[in-house]
Amino acid sequence: MESILITGGAGFIGQNLVHAWRAARPTDRLVVLDAMAYAANIRSLQPLIADRSIVFVKGDVRDAALIRSLFEEHNPTRVAHLAAESHVDRSIVDPEAFLQTNVLGTFTLLNTALDAWRSAGALGHARFLHVSTDEVYGSLGPADPPFSESSPYRPNSPYAASKAASDHLVRAYVTTYGMPALITNCSNNYGPYQHPEKLIPLMIIHALEGKPLPVYGDGSNIRDWLHVSDHCDALLAVLARGRIGETYNVGGGNERNNRDVVGLICDTLDRAFARDTRLAARFPSCPAATGGSCRSLISYVTDRPGHDHRYAIDSTKLAGELGNRPGIDFEHGLEPTVQWYLDHESWWRDVTSGAYKAWIDKNYGFRIAV
């Protein structure tokens, strides 16, 4: 049995990781720390909190006194650090929050974990996993090889720059202080519990509500889609068997451009409405409710400033060293993801009320059809 601290455990990947960890290692003590910022939701964790299979703490990774007290009380020897501001468009509107959480928060957590492990003589067997992104490597041209662990850092958005800074801090702590840390840089995740500000849930929900599907620019930008459960498997493998001080890239092997992704979402929804006639009564504004296609809602709008053209990940190192490979191809992962949002309407209605509406006005209000 081990004691694990998961930060950002109420976010999209965090919730999936908590469930994956519980299933894979049921006797471990899981302590989940999350500030419960706008993207957080603990509904799926509530049964685990109620039956005491996890300890949930609402708090900020920048709060050194709180982190110290968590180490004193629970003695975690594993940390999975996921807490972050994670949305590129928000980083363009309000970069400061990204520097606060992603840079200062990572610094505080690293520093406090190092002190605690040093005092407890635990540096030799502890592990700190910093969960980062492929966006630190910048953007690829159409013919470039995928990003490898030795690709240069060329972050283009304030989000990517803040994650790059946090990666550098982790690396510096390994080299300077012997911090037992590892870094993963993964591609775009999708799956259950993703906040509706991100491409895939946003498009599903807009289509259900009969709203325009705002594709930035000409929709030719390419992302490498990784199902969140494949990502969680990779995180478990790296934490268990990765080499200290190393970086592992995690990709899905599913490069798709945004035009195709949005088209596939539309086709998947059209099929779901044809299969299940009750959907028309639940979502009467969706074109598929009256026999039309969700594709009619696609609208090309003003591009994201500094929009990275293409991400692709070379996961050879992860597969070769740890035997970990993604198992879910995009078309097979998308269908149940769309179904999850159809089955969890009250979940996304909750997270798309209030402040979310203000964000949609702010981010999409100025974009014009192109």
Q: Which residues are catalytic?
A: 134-135, 159
CA atoms of 3 and 266, how far apart (whole Å): 43
Q: What minimum distance in Å lies between the beta carbon of 293 and ligand NAD?
A: 27
Site string for ligand TDX, 314-353 (x = CB under 6 A): ----------------------------------------
Dihedral angle of Cα 215, 307, 34, 11, to the nearest 10 degrees: 30
Residue 223 binding target from ligand TDX, ligand NAD, none, CB below 5 to 8 Å by type = ligand TDX
Q: Is 19 in the site for ligand NAD (CB under 6 A)?
A: no
Q: Closest approach of Cβ 368 to ligand NAD, in Å?
A: 27
The least distance separating ligand TDX from the CB of residue 202, rounded to whole angstroms, comes to 5
Segment interacting with ligand NAD, rule: CB under 6 A, options 82-90, 292-300, 301-309, 343-351: 82-90
Angle at 201 between CA 199 and CA 202, to 5 degrees: 60
Per the rule left: phi > 0, alpha: psi between -120 and 50, beta: everything else, 219 is left
Q: Which of 338, 313, 339 is nearest to 326 (CA)?
A: 313
Give the pair of three-digit tokens for residue 176: 């300077």
CA distance 241 to 323: 10
Q: Among 216, 225, 273, 348, which residue sits at the site for ligand TDX (rule: CB under 6 A)?
A: 216
The residues pairing with 369 across neighbouring beta strands, listed in sequence order, are 301
Please say which residue, 117 or 190, places its beta carbon nearer to ligand TDX: 190
- Nearest approach, Cβ of residue 61 and ligand NAD (Å): 4
The answer to whether 254 and 225 are in contact (CB under 8 A) is: yes
* 161 lines the binding site for ligand NAD (CB under 6 A): no
The answer to whether residue 227 forms part of the interface with ligand NAD (CB under 6 A) is: no
Selected range binding ligand TDX among 52-60, 147-155, 195-203, 248-256, rule: CB under 6 A: 195-203
Q: Rounded to an integer, what distance in angstroms lies between the CA atom of residue 264 and that of residue 254? A: 13
User: Nearest distance from residue 105's CB to ligand NAD, in Å?
Assistant: 5
Residue 88, interface with ligand TDX (CB under 6 A)?
yes
Selected binder of ligand TDX within 101, 166, 188, 249 (CB under 6 A): 188
Positions in the binding site for ligand TDX (CB under 6 A): 86-88, 133, 135, 188, 198-199, 202, 214-216, 221, 223, 258, 304
